[in-house]
Every structure is written in C-alpha cells, then in structure tokens.
C-alpha cells in the first residue's frame, strides 16, 4: 500500500492550467509545481503568464512554460494539447479555470438583467464553456495515454445556486450576470457527462469555489460572512488542497464529482 506522500506526488506528470496567471489559477499552478509536475500556464496575451511560469521554475525547479491563447479562438484552442506535448512530452492534467468574471468590464456584462448583452452572453459561453469542452476533446488521446489522466473544471457557487441579491443592494460590488451562472452551471454538468464518457481511462471532477476575499468592500464582506458557516470568505490558498487531491492518486477512485469549497455556504 502506498503512502500518502506517494499518492500525492505528481512527479513525472504535466499539468495545463488555463487562466494560470489569475488568482486561483496561480494557486493551482503553484500546487502542482510543488508536487513535482511540469506546468503549462495558459492565459491571454498581456497577462503575467510568463512571470508565473518563471517563478514556478525558480521556486520548485520544475519545467514551467507559458502559453498566450485567446480561448475564444477555436483554431488556437484546438492546437493547445499538441503544443503542450511537443513542449513537455506528455499531458496528464487539464485544469479548466479561465473564465470571464465580474471584473472583466465587458459591455452589457455586470448590468441589470434587462440590459445584459446577448453578444456578451455568447462570448462568455464561448470562453467559459465551449473552450473547456474543446480543450478536453482535443486532449483525450494524450490523457488516455497518460494512464493518470485527470480533468478538473473550476466552477462557481453561482453555477450551482442562484445569487442572493441582498448581498448587492448597496451597489459596492456588482452581481454576477446570467451568462456567468449559466456557463458555470453548464461546466459542472459537462463535468458529470465527461466523467462517464471518458471512464475508466480519464477522471473528470469539478471544484466549486465560494466567494473569494480580494480587496472586498467591508459591507459586502460582512454580509457574505454572515451567510457562511465557517465565518469567512474563501482565500486562494483554500483551493490548493482540493486541486492537489483531484489531480493526484489521492482521488484515484473519484470521478464525476463537483466539490463545493464554499465554507458551508450551500449547506444552509
């Protein structure tokens, strides 16, 4: 029987993390590098993907590289898994973390529902849902060849639950739009669908974060915390354990699960 440290090790594996220069993506990338994996940090042009990859190599001594990709560009997304294999030799772990979020400043995004743009809706579904499906689809041969293939889709509590609009009534924080919730909900159902379709060769699971504290206005934070059994908002660090668990052999008999990391928000 293997030890916990042996089950947790990712040495010899290659992980692709989309949105890897963002807050949660960066935490996940550091987690995998610390566990010994080579990491490909995928993010859009103008992001800090290069500096994140450099930091991973400097800190953990692993191979790390950056890919600048527009996830709305189908042709570019199709080529990603092959590019990872050409650079790193294999592909074992795919983390679909990138998404349009509340801070993206898109026209007709964080607006009253009557004013939410259909064009922006389409863009959000393309990046948040279609690109993850296409990326996994193109990665299937490599994930199967791995023998340890794992897909991890990062969702949101608002892909599982409706938003509590009482949190947003003072307008200090904008609520998430319908397209965000719909795309994240679709991502979690896609997780279950792919888990059965790709079994037994590839495991597919989801992480469902609660609200993450990040320069959060005090009034919003107070109201959010009052609704959370663990009496605080999430931190990026809270995603590291579940990311390690789902990518490694610690979860070798787990697939099709969407695990809430929300401080108990969904337990009321």
Q: What is the pLDDT of residue 234?
A: 97
Per the annotation, the verdict on 32 as an active-site residue is no
Q: What is the mean pLDDT of the chain?
A: 94
Question: Which of 32, 158, 180, 224 is flagged as catalytic?
Answer: 180
Q: What is the mean pLDDT of residues 193-214?
A: 97
For the stretch 24-76, pLDDT in tens is: 999 999 999 999 999 999 999 999 999 999 999 999 999 999 999 999 999 99
Q: What is the pLDDT of residue 105?
A: 62
Q: What is the 3-state secondary structure (H, E, C) of 87-142?
A: HHCCCCEEEECCCCCCCCCCCCCCCCHHHCCHHHHHHHHHHHHHHHHHHHHHHHHH
Euclidean distance between CA atoms 221 and 215, whole angstroms: 10
Confidence of residue 104 (pLDDT cuts 50, 70, 90): low
Q: What is the mean pLDDT of residues 91-120?
A: 82
Q: What is the pLDDT of residue 73?
A: 96
Would the pLDDT of 20 be above 70?
A: yes
Strand partners, 260: 208
DSSP H stretches of helix in the chain: 4-8, 23-34, 49-60, 74-88, 118-125, 131-146, 178-198, 218-226, 238-247
- The answer to whether the CB of 14 falls within 8 A of the CB of 250 is no
Please count the other Cβ atoms lying within 10 Å of the Cβ belonging to residue 160: 18
Confidence of residue 8 (pLDDT cuts 50, 70, 90): very high
Q: What is the pLDDT of residue 254?
A: 98
Euclidean distance between CA atoms 172 and 13, whole angstroms: 43
Would the pLDDT of 102 be above 60?
A: no
* Domain parsing of the chain, residue ranges: 4-267
Q: Which CATH superfamily hosts domain 4-267?
A: NAD(P)-binding Rossmann-like Domain (3.40.50.720)
Q: What is the mean pLDDT of residues 123-133?
A: 96
DSSP 18: E
Confidence of residue 109 (pLDDT cuts 50, 70, 90): confident
- The answer to whether the CB of 181 falls within 8 A of the CB of 157 is no
């Amino acid at each position: 029987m293997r030890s916990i440290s042996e089950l947790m090790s990712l040495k010899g594996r290659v992980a692709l993390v989309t949105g890897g220069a963002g807050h949660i993506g960066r935490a996940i990338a550091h987690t995998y590098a610390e566990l010994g994996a080579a990491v490909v940090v995928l993010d859009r042009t103008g992001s800090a993907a290069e500096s994140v990859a450099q930091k991973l190599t400097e800190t953990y001594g692993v191979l790390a590289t950056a890919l600048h990709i527009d996830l709305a560009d189908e042709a570019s997304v199709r080529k990603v898994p092959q590019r990872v294999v050409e650079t790193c030799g294999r592909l074992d772990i795919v983390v679909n973390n990138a998404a349009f979020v509340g801070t993206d400043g898109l026209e007709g995004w964080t607006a009253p529902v009557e004013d939410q743009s259909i064009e922006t809706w389409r863009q959000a579904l393309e990046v948040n849902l279609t690109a993850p499906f296409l990326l996994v689809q193109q990665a299937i041969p490599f994930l199967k060849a791995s023998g340890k293939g794992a897909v991890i889709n990062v969702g949101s509590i608002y892909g599982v639950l409706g938003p509590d609009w009482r949190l947003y009534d003072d307008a200090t924080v904008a609520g998430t739009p319908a397209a965000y919730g719909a795309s994240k909900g679709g991502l979690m159902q896609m997780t279950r669908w792919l888990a059965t379709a790709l079994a037994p060769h590839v495991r597919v699971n989801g992480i469902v974060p609660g609200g993450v504290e990040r320069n959060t206005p005090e009034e919003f934070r107070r109201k959010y915390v009052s609704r959370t059994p663990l009496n605080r908002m999430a931190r990026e660090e809270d995603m590291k354990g579940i990311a390690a668990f789902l990518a490694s052999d610690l979860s070798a008999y787990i697939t099709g699960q969407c695990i809430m990391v929300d401080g108990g928000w969904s337990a009321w």
